[in-house]
Structure 1
Amino acid sequence: MARYILKRILQTIPMLIVISIISFTIMRMAPGDPAQSYIRPDMKYEEIKRIKENLGLNRPLYIQYGAWLSQILKGDLGYSLINFRPVYEQIGERIPATLLLMGISLIISLILGVVLGLISAFYHDKIIDKVISVVTYIGISIPSFWFAMVLIVIFSVQLRLLPSVGMHTVGVEDSILDVLKHTIMPAMVLSYGNMSIISRYIRSNTIIQMNEDYVRTAKGKGLSTKVIFTKHILKNALLPVITMLGMSLPDLVTGAFITETVFGWPGMGRLGVQAVFSFDYPLIMAITMVSSLLLIIGNLLSDILCGVVDPRIKVVS
């Protein structure tokens, strides 16, 4: 196992390099110029040229990438081109809020997805199964930004039960209850799609397990359906949940960009969207690399847990 973990960690290095090259190239080729934030209509060509030289935008692409990579290897994420603050400070301020929202959303999607999937499988082809199927199909299909707007209209505008923007009420900074109230709607939006996918996956896997030979053998011994379901089927049906956790991380990370922007959540996703619109190259690259690293670590932990939980799964080193 230790050899496998070391191998996977070493594999992340070329993976991150490839991601950085692709991201850096696409970002520089995209329309827009961060120098526009500093250019005034009355500026002369020489002044504009000097601004681009100071920002390092007039150098060849591979030179710019080499300079950026050299900074990263030294542990320096650079400075924002817009507010001139260190990038690591801005990410450090925002990442706790993003991890909080992602963590709560992951727990909600996992618990509800597993429970609804098991209920749907246990009452296969009955009315409750059909209702849950409709709910999960909607969750898989609807756009997250549209669902977010619907929740805001219902719970904030019409019922006035939940706050629609931010993480804290103005003037209230240390109240956990206030933070939880602000978290409810963003967490619902971020978890709905993943919950639906997990539920459908658990349902289909449980139905497959219910038709296995060991279930028929247990029925032949006179065991009740509930005993068979809870003591035999449940363990085998829930094992893929660990894999599903690793697979759901990309949706959580990408969904955070949309959800945080709609709800004004002060997290890394919203910061990334602001950086994209302002062409803040150092900040965009840093957020891209941090997000990629989170996904890689999540998938690695998922693979390790699969091997720990089920000894039958042999990790190939």
Structure 2
Amino acid sequence: MGNYIARRLLIAVPVFFGITLLSFLLMNMAPGNPVDMLINPNIPQEMLELKREQLGLNDPLYMQYVRWLGGLLRGELGYSFSSFAPVSQLIGERIGPTLLLAVSSLLIGILIAIPIGVISAVYQNSRLDYVMTGLSFLGTSVPPFFLGLGLIYLMGIELKWLPTGGITTLGGTGGIGDIISHMILPVAVMGVTIAGKKVRYIRASMVDVLHQDYLRTARAKGLSEFRVTAKHALRNALIPIIAVIGAEIPLLLGGSIIIEQVFQWPGIGQLTMEAILSRDYPTLMGLNIAAACIVLTTNLITDIMYAAVDPRISYR
């Protein structure tokens, strides 16, 4: 296992640098730059040129990339062009709320999807199966922003049961209970979307496992149907689902941009939109690096989990 992890880490190094180069080129190919956001009739052209020179925007792209990469290797992500704060500080302040929202949504989505997918597979082609499959398609089909706005209107405005945005109440103490109450709506939206996609995978995997010979042998030994399904079938059915769950992490980071805008959640998604609108290259590059590290780490953990749950897999 140690050798496998070492090989994966070595492979991740050129992938990581490839991501930095591609991200840097795409950022600079986009129209506009931070100085363009300052243009108004009252600012002389000389001042704009001086600002471009100060930010290094007049240098060739390869020089800008080498300068930025050198800072990255020293552990420095640079300074924001809009707020002039260290990019690492901005990301550090926002990544906690985003991870809290993403991890909570993933757990809720999986906890919803597993029992629904198992029940749907056990009662295959029954009315219950059709209802649960239909609900999973509905959860996948409804756009998250539309569902979020609907819940805000119903639960926040009409019924006034839950807060409609933010992570804490303005002027409040900001305790755990307050944070949880603000999490309910965004977590519900993301959890429903995740569950809708995962139900079909779990159902298909369970249907395949339920027809295996070793389950018929377990039933012939006198084991109850619940024990056969929960202990033998479910564990083997979840093995291919691990890869699907691991692939969900990058999608969560991307989807959080929409959800954080709808619910005004102070996380990475909101910071990304602010950086895009202000053409803040250093912040966008820092966000890309953070996302790349999360994706590469998630893929490694997914492969390790495969070996942990499936004894047939051995890494040498």
TM-score class normalised by the smaller sequence: over 0.9
Instruction: State the 1:36 CA deviation.
Output: 2.4
Contact 1:37-1:82 within 8 A present in 2 as well: no
Q: Secondary structure at the match of 1:172?
A: coil
Please state if 1:274 is matched with 2:274: yes
Instruction: State the 1:292 CA deviation.
Output: 1.4
Match of 1:25 in 2: 25
Instruction: State the 1:133 CA deviation.
Output: 0.7
Instruction: State the 1:29 CA deviation.
Output: 1.1
Match of 2:156 in 1: 156
Instruction: State the 1:239 CA deviation.
Output: 2.4
How many percent identity over aligned positions?
40
Query: Counterparts of 1:9 and 1:147 in 2: how far apart (Å)?
Result: 40
Which shows bigger deviation, 84-93 or 29-38?
29-38
Match of 1:293 in 2: 293
Which shows bigger deviation, 215-224 or 133-142?
215-224
Question: 1:307 is matched by which residue type in structure 2?
Answer: A
Match of 1:225 in 2: 225
Deviations 1:190-249 (A, max 9, x none): 222221222111111111111112223334445443332233212211223322321111
Please state if 1:73 is matched with 2:62: no
Match of 1:147 in 2: 147
Match of 1:59 in 2: 59
Query: Counterparts of 1:133 and 1:195 in 2: how far apart (Å)?
Result: 11
Contact 1:80-1:280 within 8 A present in 2 as well: yes
Match of 1:41 in 2: 41
Superposed, 1:91-130 pairs within 5 Å as 91-130=91-130
Q: Is there any run of 5+ residues in structure 1 with no aligned partner, and where?
A: none
Question: 1:141 is matched by which residue type in structure 2?
Answer: S
Instruction: State the 1:309 CA deviation.
Output: 2.2
Match of 1:265 in 2: 265
Instruction: State the 1:314 CA deviation.
Output: 2.0
Question: 1:18 is matched by which residue type in structure 2?
Answer: G
Question: 2:51 is matched by which residue type in structure 1?
Answer: I
Match of 1:132 in 2: 132
Match of 2:212 in 1: 212
Deviations 1:159-190 (A, max 9, x none): 21111110001112331111001001111122
Match of 2:203 in 1: 203
Which shows bigger deviation, 180-189 or 141-150?
141-150
Match of 1:83 in 2: 83
TM-score, length-normalised on structure 1? 0.95
Contact 1:38-1:51 within 8 A present in 2 as well: no
Closer, same or farther in 2 for the Cα pair 1:231/1:51, shift >3 Å?
closer
Query: Counterparts of 1:263 and 1:174 in 2: how far apart (Å)?
Result: 17
Question: 2:63 is matched by which residue type in structure 1?
Answer: I
Question: 2:250 is matched by which residue type in structure 1?
Answer: P
Deviations 1:25-81 (A, max 9, x none): 111111222102334413333222111101111111111111111111111111010
Query: Counterparts of 2:156 and 2:257 in 1: how far apart (Å)?
Result: 21
Q: Is there any run of 5+ residues in structure 2 with no aligned partner, and where?
A: none
Which shows bigger deviation, 153-162 or 254-263?
153-162
Match of 2:243 in 1: 243
Query: Counterparts of 1:156 and 1:236 in 2: how far apart (Å)?
Result: 42
Query: Counterparts of 2:87 and 2:66 in 1: how far apart (Å)?
Result: 18
Question: 1:61 is matched by which residue type in structure 2?
Answer: L
Query: Counterparts of 1:231 and 1:89 in 2: how far apart (Å)?
Result: 46
Query: Counterparts of 1:11 and 1:18 in 2: how far apart (Å)?
Result: 11
Query: Counterparts of 1:82 and 1:143 in 2: how far apart (Å)?
Result: 32
